[in-house]
Amino acid sequence: MAKPLPEIPNASMADIAFLLLTFFLVTTTMPNDKGLSMQLPPPPEAQTEDIKIPERNMFKIQVNSSDALLVEGEPMADVSGLKDMIKKFILNNGADPKNSDSPEKAIVSLKTDRGTTHKRFVEILDIAQAAYYDIYADQAGVTNEEFRKVASDLNDPENKRIYDKGREGIPMNISIAEPTKAGGN
């Protein structure tokens, strides 16, 4: 008589697989580092009053559905000088009546059409943010690259001190207006 082959009990295999699946779903983290880091405006119902901003404190950048730029009412084909224009506007301190009263009051306004490409929008937003980071780095006495490294690790007290020194008195005022319909105003 042949000896019966031993069997592996498989009744609880499904339970074990389910427990492992649950364990890995709960303990796994999904990286969520993509996107633009910016503060969103409050919801419309939270805004109780209209704020009037003098024209001289607004640096207007418009991008149409063809990705063409209009900066301060003038067409601009090449964006290479845009960062310097923004820095000059922010740091005016009332010297030129066509530019801002002070860095605290200066606002860079970006308005697009619905047909504006995502690439162009991010390019112009990056230029505006880079202008502010140049100002912050100069004010902190470090290079732009060093300031960005400092800003990425604010747990270190020395980094926090440099970061605060760079941003002192100059908020990053970038306004992103609601897009207009392509071809509209």
Q: Looking at 2-6, 32-36, 65-69, 181-185, which range is the least confident one?
A: 181-185
Report residue 47's pLDDT band, with 50, 70 and 90 as the boundaries: low
Domain extent listing, the chain: 54-176
Reported as a single tens digit per residue, the pLDDT across 12-42 is 888 888 999 999 989 988 777 666 666 666 6
Q: Is the confidence at residue 182, as pLDDT, over 70?
A: no
Q: Looking at 14-18, 43-47, 116-120, 151-155, which range is the least confident one?
A: 43-47
Residue among 168, 164, 142, 146 nearest 154 (CA): 164
Report residue 86's pLDDT band, with 50, 70 and 90 as the boundaries: very high
